[in-house]
Amino acid sequence: MAAATLFSVATAIQGTATFYTPPYVPSSCNGFQDDGVMIAAASDAIWNNRAACNKFYSVRCTGPTNAGVPQPCRGGAITVKIVDYCPAGCQGTIDLSQEAFAMIADPNAGKIQIEYNEYTPDLKTMDLQGDRWRG
């Protein structure tokens, strides 16, 4: 019941995730603002002419995209904030920070299948750094 009060959830969408490495600034959304490491870049599927900037997404690994790492998922979901744009030719629906990707999957996989959804978090549950969520 407590989880229901933390955020409003939409239906999960299927996609893929990749990751990018530091430096994470400047970003397309927030310039030189440090948004922590629980961040992501949006592909054209999400970007919508910058409308995705500073929106939060829940991302969960659902499986591999290749035979290289047959079981990349580590379980659980993460929350990331969209702070950047992954331009045309982007290999994933969401390009996660390296740290965010490593929380849900083995980075050796490089690319994974995911379920993701946008939601509006209860900002009272966010810590001061914006890197973790409390429940």
Find which of 55-64, 65-74, 85-94 is predicted with most confidence, using mean pLDDT: 55-64
Q: Provide DSSP, 8-29.
A: EEPPPEEEEEEEE-S---SBTT
Q: What is the pLDDT of residues 12-58, one digit of tens each?
A: 999 999 999 999 999 999 999 999 999 999 999 999 999 999 999 99
Nearest to 62 by CA among 95, 17, 11: 17
Cα angle value 62/44/102 (rounded, 5°)? 35
Q: Phi first, then psi: what are they for 52, rounded to 5°?
A: -80, -15
Instruction: State if pTM tops 0.85.
Output: no
CA atoms within 13 A on the CB side of 88: 1
CATH of 35-117, one of 3.10.129.10, 3.30.300.30, 2.40.40.10, 3.40.50.850: 2.40.40.10
Q: What is the pLDDT of residues 108-123, one digit of tens each?
A: 999 999 999 998 876 6
